[in-house]
Structure 1
Amino acid sequence: MASVHIVGPAFSNFVRSVMLVCHEKGIEHSVGMEVEGRRVELHSPEFKALNPFDKIPVLIHGERRLYESVAICRYLEGAFDGPDLLPRDDWTRAQVDQWCAALATQADQAIVRRYLLELVFPKGPNGEVREDRVREAAPEVARILTILEHQLAGRDFLVGDGFTLADALAAPMLDYLEATPPAGSLMEAAPNARAYVERLRSRPSGKAVLVAPVFPR
């Protein structure tokens, strides 16, 4: 039986962030929209009982229920044995927290919510991509990539010398960005970010989590 259950679809970038943390720390886990053997639909009263803000993922650990991806990742870091994914010194840990917050808000909004979702789940007439929305969103994606490109110069990871919670937040959204046409063209101007994604994909956790997604039809 899994130690924890992650409520949410495995294609979600935030669900994948939590999965990466589980793999990095060796935490047995399960993933899906089933809770105690019953399917729970997003936006349903049953799901809102788990998270009143009606967002995924939700972590179930025994009798405990926890939402918000960064809080979940920090809980898993502290509650389970395994490699440290938060540095021990105050300054470096604060930098990881800084990046987690920025990635979960500004970067996710720019890269995933406003850009990638329009390409993957288009809402135009007859299910077509709204090209005007894509063009409007692209400059902010490029700006975020420039920030990441600067941070990754001469680094293997976003903060410090090893994989941290910040990398778990960054990896899924950048992996999707690099792999989704025409979004991948934005990554061509960000060689540090592209090399970073390849490094994270090559880790055991990346090989397990950063796989081609199965999207609902």
Structure 2
Amino acid sequence: MTSDKVHILGPQFSTFVRSVQLCCEEKGIAYTVGTTIDQQTVSLNDGSLFQFHPFGKVPVLIHHGKRFFETPAICRYLDNCFDGVALQPDTAEAKAEVDEWSNCLAIYVDRALVRDYLLEFAFPRGPEGQIRKQEIKAAEPQVLKVLGLLDTELGSKPFFKGDNFTIADAILIPMLDYLQRLPHAEQLFSGLQYLPGYLQRMRDRASAKAVLI
């Protein structure tokens, strides 16, 4: 095991950057975060990210001079390489369930909640920087459908995939946190039985207090 500091390359507002931060906080891993590495500032818009990620995405983990990309893989690497509380279950079956949901969250749930919805509020692409209300209206049914699916999957469990905090929680929490901060969040979360309480419990954790700012 190692205790060397890692660098999370990417802007702190990114949900996936925050997921990696949450894993570091939970395990007590020393880290830095930001778009500067080796005195070089990496822009999200000028193509310089491609030297770190083959598709120019964030986050990228820098550790011992090596680069690792894709959030679920980064989180598994951190859990496997560093001491601290385990972020993956012990059994192969339970570990596969965390893996499948971590990937599902990072692909399908991220698409519905973040790419097709939240980003329109954060970075509006309408005329003169206005939010495209038609795009929001078109995306909202899928947002509600996905939230309902997540609520059912969570059920009464204390954490998304069982009795302990896992990588799946780290990936899900930043998405829900941003969504719940929208002015109309109440209508999105109304009727959900489990997700609101879950999100509040996760926000109360020391790791979330350090990251969800």
Q: TM-score range by the shorter chain?
A: over 0.9
* 1:62 pairs with one of 58, 61, 64: 64
Q: 1:160-195 CA distances to partner (integer Å, 9 max, x unpaired)?
A: 201000000000000111112224420122231111
Contact in 2 for aligned 1:177/1:187 (Cα 8 Å): no
- Runs of 4+ aligned structure 1 residues displaced above 3 Å come to 43-46
> Partner residue of 1:215?
none
The percent of aligned pairs where both chains have the same amino acid is 45
Output the aligned Cα RMSD.
1.4
Contact in 2 for aligned 1:14/1:57 (Cα 8 Å): yes
Contact in 1 for aligned 2:47/2:56 (Cα 8 Å): no
> Partner residue of 1:77?
79
> Partner residue of 1:164?
166
Whole-angstrom distance in 2 between the partners of 1:175 and 1:68 = 21
> Partner residue of 2:203?
201
Whole-angstrom distance in 2 between the partners of 1:112 and 1:182 = 16
State whether structure 2 residue 23 is matched by structure 1 residue 7: no
1:85-100 equivalences in 2 (<5 Å): 85-100=87-102
Whole-angstrom distance in 2 between the partners of 1:57 and 1:184 = 30
Contact in 2 for aligned 1:58/1:65 (Cα 8 Å): yes
- SS of match in other structure, 1:110: helix
- Alignment gaps of 5+ in structure 1: 212-217
State whether structure 2 residue 189 is matched by structure 1 residue 174: no
- SS of match in other structure, 2:194: helix
1:3-152 equivalences in 2 (<5 Å): 3-152=5-154
Whole-angstrom distance in 2 between the partners of 1:80 and 1:190 = 36
Q: 1:88-130 CA distances to partner (integer Å, 9 max, x unpaired)?
A: 1111111101110110011000000000011111111111111
The alpha-carbon deviation at position 43 of structure 1 amounts to 4.2
Contact in 2 for aligned 1:43/1:54 (Cα 8 Å): no
- TM-score between both structures, scaled by the size of structure 2: 0.95
State whether structure 2 residue 212 is matched by structure 1 residue 210: yes
Query: Are the structure 2 counterparts of residues 184 and 15 from structure 1 closer, same or farther at C-alpha, using a change threshold of 3 Å?
Result: farther
Q: 1:190-214 CA distances to partner (integer Å, 9 max, x unpaired)?
A: 2311111101000000111112xxx
Which residue identity is paired with 1:8?
G
Q: How many residues align?
A: 211
- Alignment gaps of 5+ in structure 2: none
- SS of match in other structure, 2:8: strand
Whole-angstrom distance in 2 between the partners of 1:30 and 1:102 = 27
Q: 1:126-145 CA distances to partner (integer Å, 9 max, x unpaired)?
A: 11111110011011111111
- TM-score between both structures, scaled by the size of structure 1: 0.94
Q: 1:56-113 CA distances to partner (integer Å, 9 max, x unpaired)?
A: 0000002110111111001001010000000011111111011101100110000000
Whole-angstrom distance in 1 between the partners of 2:193 and 2:177 = 13
The alpha-carbon deviation at position 45 of structure 1 amounts to 4.6
- SS of match in other structure, 1:191: coil
